[in-house]
Amino acid sequence: AEQDWYHGAIPRIEAQELLKQQGDFLVRESHGKPGEYVLSVFSDGQRRHFIIQYADNQYRFEGTGFPNIPQLIDHHYTTKQVITKKSGVVLLNPVVKDKKWVLNHEDVTLGELLGKGNFGEVYKGTLKDKTPVAVKTCKEDLPQELKIKFLSEARILKQYDHPNIVKLIGVCTQRQPIYIVMELIPGGDFLSFLRKKKDELKTKQLVKFSLDAAAGMAYLESKNCIHRDLAARNCLVGENNVLKISDFGMSRQ
């Protein structure tokens, strides 16, 4: 997990987007078979995926075996030995993971269950520096296409920074279950908030909520993002009653 070229349990489709030039490579954990590791490489205009074989306490492709994956990758990278004779693939450029968003599971302590999402549970959590966060978890037995959908929300939120859009803090993909870690919004979802406070909310405050939602949506439009599921249940009420748009599971760019 310490290797810069190890991207954890990212989906195959996301790995493919990161491979752009001849010899670009990364290692990831297979989504379909947790515990199995895959080398993804860009070679001759194609993105190739090689399962790292493990037998007799050795990791290999088809040649020399090594006691761990870093030694295996380092051997092929430094000697330029082909991964398989048939493929002729050579490792040239390690694709380094974007450390800005990478969190380890050990960095996050899960607390009380806040609710259930489309892909798994949502927990209150804390980071090592005591920052309170919301943690979305992804069920390990979900089909591959749903895991990709789950992670697409984080991929979209990485690009945004606006007071009326919920903030992404990081992603734990080093192993499964995958976590998406977001800022914790104290007021909870807007629909429950409206139902609870319907008798005390003044028109001026309701207009302010509408302005917040409109500002968030205008920002998304400026980023060519269509949310596709804007509703009170998918907005959160932050400090000083600032409305934040969340739940980007249906959105498209």
User: What's the rounded Cα separation, in Å, for the pair 192 and 241?
Assistant: 14
Does the annotation flag 204 for ligand binding? Answer: no
**CB crowding 33-49: b at 16 or more within 10 Å, else e:** eeeebbbbbbbeeebbe
CATH code for residues 100-245: 1.10.510.10
pTM, two decimal places: 0.79
What pLDDT is recorded for position 242?
A: 97
Q: Are 35 and 202 in contact (CB under 8 A)?
A: no
Where in the chain is CATH 3.30.505.10?
12-97
Residue 211 phi, psi dihedral angles, 5° rounding? -65, -40
Residue 197 phi, psi dihedral angles, 5° rounding? -110, 15
What pLDDT is recorded for position 175?
A: 86
What pLDDT is recorded for position 1?
A: 58
What pLDDT is recorded for position 168?
A: 96
In the DSSP assignment, the letter for residue 135 is E
Containing 175, the helix (H) or strand (E) segment is none
Active-site residue flag, 107: no
What pLDDT is recorded for position 9?
A: 86
Token readout for 23 is 């010899």
Q: Are 36 and 55 in contact (CB under 8 A)?
A: no
Q: Which CATH number fits domain 12-97: 3.40.50.720, 3.30.505.10, 3.40.190.10, 1.20.140.10?
A: 3.30.505.10
Candidate list 44, 56, 229, 247, residue with the active-site label: 229
In the DSSP assignment, the letter for residue 22 is T
What pLDDT is recorded for position 32?
A: 77
Low-confidence ranges of the chain (pLDDT < 50): none
What pLDDT is recorded for position 148?
A: 84
User: What's the rounded Cα separation, in Å, for the pair 106 and 123?
Assistant: 15
What pLDDT is recorded for position 118?
A: 76
Token readout for 68 is 């761990």
Where in the chain is CATH 1.10.510.10?
100-245
